[in-house]
Amino acid sequence: MRRELLTPRSGWQSEMESIGFHYHSIDGTYWDESRCYAFSESEIDQLESATAELHQMALNAAQQVVGSQRYEEFAIPAEWVPAIEQSWNAYRSDQPGGFTLFGRMDLSYDGASPPKLLEYNADTPTACLEASVAQWQWLQAARRDADQFNSLHEKLIDAWRTLRAASEETRLHFAAVSESQEDWGNLDYLRDTAIQAGWQTFALPVERIGWNGTKFVDEFNVPIERLVKLYPWEWLVREDFGAALPTSTMQVVEPAWKMLLSNKAILVVLWELYPEHPNLLPAYYEPAPLGSKYVKKPKLAREGANISVVDGPEVQATDGDYGAEGFVYQAVAPLPRFEEDFALIGSWIVGDKPAGIGVREDVSPITRNTSRFVPHYFE
């Protein structure tokens, strides 16, 4: 794994906009092709096999949580347990009600030591358009003879196609917060892949979803059969319409059982089930077993908010409004550093298979939503 410095293509901005990537320069520099990461094939093999194994272990951890009723550790309200278990059982029996489209694991990997799981963004993973289309387009222009770990596009279409074949419904409604350009860029891309798989699709802001007393409906009062949301479950369940969700017939992508994998408490369960696994870091509900060096993470948080990296008396922390549900404490796996930049691997799962990676860079060791997306290739 190495970083190469490049001259950006002239006119790359219009190239990105042509694929719907309008937020390429959000907060300054976001898409950054002034550099790229080069991997060897064996490194990609290692990332792919670790991702597949970690996903399988995460599913086993979810089964452990369900089987042992450990919902309190995950700060999941009791009224939500039936919905989680129903969707989990549907997933286990390959029924459409348990359908999962995707997830993204954040890994610390330096090309030498085994990849380490930092967290699993299993509910609302973003940077999908970037990882799938944007860096593929860059590959065609900048490293045409090389390969890239990226089959997201066809795997997304295949997943939608599989769901279409198993479902009676024909419509998908896509929803996200109205003002988030990044979320809509991702959601429109997912919608594009669903259309290519034969779905009839509609989009609406999550704020405009309606409840008519028996069904959730769109802004034209058309019943929503299956909602593809880029909006966290933990927010949905606590909002005004949340109480109606468990009794409604509306299916949701990602399904309710993903509340288990996207919660940082899953890191503690994973370490319990697979102690000393080379792709896991020790994780606990208290810092004592980790000594004076650890990372403190809220069970429910996004975009690197409210994370503290503790090294004895030194504490490096990000701000935010999360943490009310409690914290987990994880051993430190330093991100590899290239000059002043730290690099993090986002490794994608589509359906239940590894589908590619994206690299994020930041001058901070804590990756945030503003961290730059850097393309990669391997040979």
Pick out residues in 141-160 that bind another protein (CB under 8 A): 147-154
Q: What is the dihedral of CA 224, 228, 231, 235, to 10 degrees?
A: 50
198: left (phi over 0), alpha (psi -120 to 50) or beta: left
Asked if 159 contacts 350 with a C-beta cutoff of 8 angstroms, the reply is yes
Among 50, 206, 283, 335, binds another protein (CB under 8 A): 206
* Least Cβ distance, residue 298 to another protein (angstroms): 12
**What is the size of the binding site for another protein (CB under 8 A)?**
86
Interactions with another protein, residue window 268-307 (CB under 8 A): 302-303, 305
Measured between alpha carbons, how far apart are the two ends of the chain, in Å? Answer: 11
Stretch that binds another protein, among 158-166, 176-184, 250-258, 330-338 (CB under 8 A): 176-184
Spell out, one character per residue from 234 to 273, where the chain touches another protein: x when CB under 8 A holds, - when not. Answer: -xx-xxxxx-x-----------------x-----------
Angstrom distances, CA of residue 257 to CA of 119, 348, 354 = 16, 18, 20
CB closer to another protein, 46 vs 180: 180
Does residue number 177 form part of the binding site for another protein (CB under 8 A)?
A: yes
Does residue number 192 form part of the binding site for another protein (CB under 8 A)?
A: yes
Q: Cα–Cα distance between 362 and 365 in angstroms, integer?
A: 7
- DSSP strands (E only) in the chain: 2-5, 35-39, 102-108, 116-121, 171-176, 200-205, 210-211, 216-217, 226-230, 251-253, 283-284, 293-298, 308-311, 314-317, 327-330, 337-338, 341-350, 353-362, 372-374, 376-378
Interactions with another protein, residue window 53-112 (CB under 8 A): 104
Interactions with another protein, residue window 26-45 (CB under 8 A): 41, 44
Q: Cα–Cα distance between 243 and 229 in angstroms, integer?
A: 17
CB closer to another protein, 183 vs 361: 183
* Least Cβ distance, residue 190 to another protein (angstroms): 10
CB closer to another protein, 38 vs 244: 244
* Least Cβ distance, residue 63 to another protein (angstroms): 23
CB closer to another protein, 89 vs 369: 369
